[in-house]
Amino acid sequence: MKIAVASPDSEIVRPGARVGWGARIDHHRGLIIAVSALLAMLAGWIALSATPVGLYDIGSVISSATTLALAAIGQTIVVLSGGFDLSASAVVSLANVLAVRFVQGSPVEQWAGAALILAIGGGIGLVNGALIAWFRLQSIVVTLATMFMVQGLTLLIQNKPGGSVGDQFGAVLTADLIPDKMPMSAGLLILALLIWAFVKRTRFGVGLYALGSDPDGAYANGMPVTRYRIATYALAGVFYAAAGLYVSAQTGSADPLVGRPLLLSMFTAVVLGGTLLGGGRGGCVGTVFAAMTLMITVNILLVLNVSAFFTTIAEAVILILAVLGSSIGKQSAAHECARHAAQWFKAMRTGTRARDDRHARRVTFEVDDFRPVENTELKGRAIADWIERNREWAKYVVPAYTLFFAVVIITGFVYGPGVLASANFYSSLLTLTLFLAILGLGQGAVILTGGLDLSMPWLITLSGVLLTGLTHGVNGAAAWAVPLVLVVGLLVGVFNGVGVVMLGLPPIVVTLAANGLLQGLTLIYCNGSPQGWSPSSISEFTNGHLGPLSLAAWSVPVFLVIALLLLHRTPFGRRVYAVGNSQVAAKLSGVRVGTTLIAVYCLSGLCSALVGLLLAGFSSQAFLGMGDPYLLPSIAVVVVGGALITGGRGHYLGVFGGALLLTALGTLLAGTTVPPAVRDIINGLVVLAAVITLRDKKG
């Protein structure tokens, strides 16, 4: 029996049917846009350049774009299957570091070492795919956790730039394919595209597009969905490792952080190349052209004498425009988006609830229906009544506190019982917990609605840099600088929320682009070097003591009460849970879904800005990248606290327990000889274990 499947990048076509020019153009629309963008940027570069642009210059662009192109090909393969791979940049760094150890010796040994590194990259992808396919986990969370674990492993192997690769390996990859005309990197890209062309025409290639278009339909048609999904991430891992190897050959050394800036560029190249986020449409040819377009964009900025700090801003803007451009021609989707936008604006203007008029007459339940039902049979038995009403979420919250007390006991054994009797231990524990508890409130609210906020790192950094730069340690200036920084956090939240609600962009795209924008803005503001000091009033709050504890430690119970009231005793909190359980049902019940989502991202932005202020006070100054270590923990505390990563389930008591647990674990490791990179590995393992253990068994 033959099974009809959708051809890649197209609608289902009857056998023997003739395809018109319009259908052909639509079939290759993404590739056409990618090539057009490349030609337009190339023309702009030629026009602006003070010297003639020759084959050598074009060859240099190809060489510069090869690393990004190879990594983006791997990301494209994953996106085509309907997933996201945030571990890509870390695998590039790992391969780059491993190259200076394994690509040594005789020519045969060098190439054998390169093959081993490619296999390691494929193995990491294999683990990602197995976790996602076997346990039915979200690709974003799994690959985010493995990103931190792989990055931690990379820093354990080599924590600073250095080393060298074998001369023969580097000489081959940096030689000319055609003397003085075409670099070997062009041959590598041609080889990569030939591999893709072969894969695309296999049963696995057809299954790859089927996974992205309709995974349930692919399963129903008998495709080995689990095997194909695992193979997808394994193949992508090989391309990431190839990108890391090429960097090693190009630079002749290793840098454990070389892949970190590539993540935003990868997604930009994927989308600009015509691949549809969500899967099922696109290809790697357009991705390669898009990677070259981004490199030419950098060259244009250099020609215009624009600071390199604008690079991430340009990439973020291109990413958003490319995602918006990919929806051109989808009239039904645009019409639906316009209809929702009109309803949303009407609701905001009139103060009424935005409803779908087609279903309004059939829906009679309201937001208050999401309140817990009181058990009247247990009246008069307060404890039993509380247990009965809260048993469902309590079983997810208790493990975090159980593990926390276990870590505290272990700390007593490792450092002696005197540590547990010290007020400084609890003061430090609660102060550091406050940072994660605040981030957990913002990130937790976003996760409860089914989203994710990846803009936290550089919003935290920008907030700290703004505080020190605006105040220069003067307490009087803090009176207006602190509110200004918090307003910036709210504006970032509005940007994220509007991107998700009004433009219909995936949360990962909007918040990743926002993170790139914030990085560029931070570097431009401080010119690459933060200035000034934190006002003593803020430093006194985080470091000063009132009795046995710091002021920040005393504020922890107050913040806990505020957060519990906000998420569990207000209409806003009930709307957050309603949206997370089902946006359709929430909308039909009268919930302003768009307003709630924007408010959630505003809360996350406000929390990130507040933590940036506190961290600057805690360290008495700001520094670049100060928010990077908090991205995974901000998600970890939510997941470890029992929240469902797909939204709708969770309790802030669990989030607070997760903050206590991760802080206590960090305190335990801080006093040992364990390298800081190990914390990333442990945090990643904790997130994976929690996601697997507490996942929705029905999902």
> CATH number of the domain that 443 lies in?
1.10.3470
Please check whether residue 166 is in contact with residue 104, taking contact to mean a CB–CB distance below 8 angstroms.
yes
d(CA 486, CA 412): 39
Query: Measured at the alpha carbon of residue 285, what is the angle toward residues 282 and 290, in degrees to the nearest 5?
Result: 90
Q: Average of pLDDT values for 34-54?
A: 88
Tell whether 384 is covered by a domain: no
pLDDT at position 336 over 90: no
Residue-number span of the structural domain to which 467 is assigned: 365-371+394-674+688-694
Tell whether 580 is covered by a domain: yes
- Write down the pLDDT at residue 334: 41
Tell whether 332 is covered by a domain: no
Same domain, 309 and 420: no
pLDDT at position 375 over 70: no
Same domain, 282 and 193: yes
Same domain, 292 and 423: no
**Max CA-CA distance within the chain?**
89
Same domain, 446 and 531: yes
Percent of the chain with pLDDT over 70: 86
Same domain, 156 and 241: yes
- Write down the pLDDT at residue 49: 85
Same domain, 413 and 310: no
Q: Average of pLDDT values for 557-572?
A: 96
Token pair listed for 197: 């062309």
Closest CA to 243 of 96, 111, 80: 96
| Local confidence band at 676 (pLDDT 50, 70, 90 cut-offs) | confident
- Write down the pLDDT at residue 669: 87
Tell whether 110 is covered by a domain: yes
Same domain, 105 and 203: yes
Q: Beta partners for 176? A: 183
Tell whether 340 is covered by a domain: no
Same domain, 556 and 650: yes
pLDDT at position 348 over 80: no
- Write down the pLDDT at residue 18: 53
| Local confidence band at 616 (pLDDT 50, 70, 90 cut-offs) | very high
498: burial class by Cβ within 10 Å (0-12, 13-18, 19+)? middle
Q: Average of pLDDT values for 626-631?
A: 93
Domain count for the chain, please give it: 2
In 463-530, the DSSP E strands lie at none
Same domain, 432 and 288: no
pLDDT at position 193 over 70: yes
The DSSP call for residue 162 is: B
Question: How large is the angle between the packed helices 311-325 and 262-272, nearest 10 degrees?
Answer: 30
- Write down the pLDDT at residue 22: 59
Type of residue at 171: A
Tell whether 223 is covered by a domain: yes
Same domain, 404 and 274: no
- Write down the pLDDT at residue 219: 87
Residues ≥6 apart with Cβ < 8 Å to 26:
10, 329
- Write down the pLDDT at residue 345: 52
Q: Which long-range contacts (CB under 8 A, 24 or more apart) does 505-510 make?
A: 505/320, 505/323, 505/324, 506/277, 506/278, 506/323, 507/446, 507/451, 507/452, 507/453, 508/84, 508/140, 508/452, 508/454, 509/267, 509/271, 509/277, 509/319, 509/320, 509/323, 510/320
- Residue 459 has, within 13 A of its CA and on its CB side, a CA count of 35
3-class SS string, 311-355: HHHHHHHHHHHHHHHCCCCCHHHHHHHHHHHHHHHHHHHHCCCCC
Residues ≥6 apart with Cβ < 8 Å to 215:
82, 225
Q: Mean pLDDT across the chain, nearest whole number?
A: 86
Same domain, 427 and 298: no
User: Which tops the pLDDT comparison, 552 or 333?
Assistant: 552
- Write down the pLDDT at residue 371: 42
- Write down the pLDDT at residue 697: 61
392: burial class by Cβ within 10 Å (0-12, 13-18, 19+)? exposed
Closest CA to 203 of 176, 221, 182: 221
Tell whether 380 is covered by a domain: no
Residues ≥6 apart with Cβ < 8 Å to 244:
91, 92, 93, 94, 95, 96, 98, 99, 117, 121, 258, 259
Our measurement of the distance from residue 210's CA atom to the centroid of its chain's CA atoms, rounded to an integer in Å, reads 25
- Write down the pLDDT at residue 592: 92
Percent of the chain with pLDDT over 90: 64
Same domain, 400 and 320: no
Residues ≥6 apart with Cβ < 8 Å to 115:
none
pLDDT digits (tens, 9 = 90+) for 122-167: 999 999 999 999 998 889 889 999 999 999 999 999 999 999 999 9
- Write down the pLDDT at residue 503: 87
Please check whether residue 662 is in contact with residue 637, taking contact to mean a CB–CB distance below 8 angstroms.
yes
Token pair listed for 565: 């009231």
pLDDT digits (tens, 9 = 90+) for 429-482: 999 999 999 999 999 999 999 999 999 999 999 999 999 999 999 999 999 999
| Local confidence band at 387 (pLDDT 50, 70, 90 cut-offs) | low
pLDDT at position 323 over 90: no
| Local confidence band at 360 (pLDDT 50, 70, 90 cut-offs) | very low
Q: Average of pLDDT values for 92-99?
A: 97
Tell me if residue 550 falls in helix, strand or coil.
strand
Q: Average of pLDDT values for 308-320?
A: 90
Tell whether 16 is covered by a domain: no
Token pair listed for 555: 């504020």
pLDDT at position 76 over 90: yes
Please check whether residue 100 is in contact with residue 315, taking contact to mean a CB–CB distance below 8 angstroms.
no
pLDDT digits (tens, 9 = 90+) for 241-250: 999 999 999 9
- Write down the pLDDT at residue 52: 85
pLDDT at position 657 over 50: yes
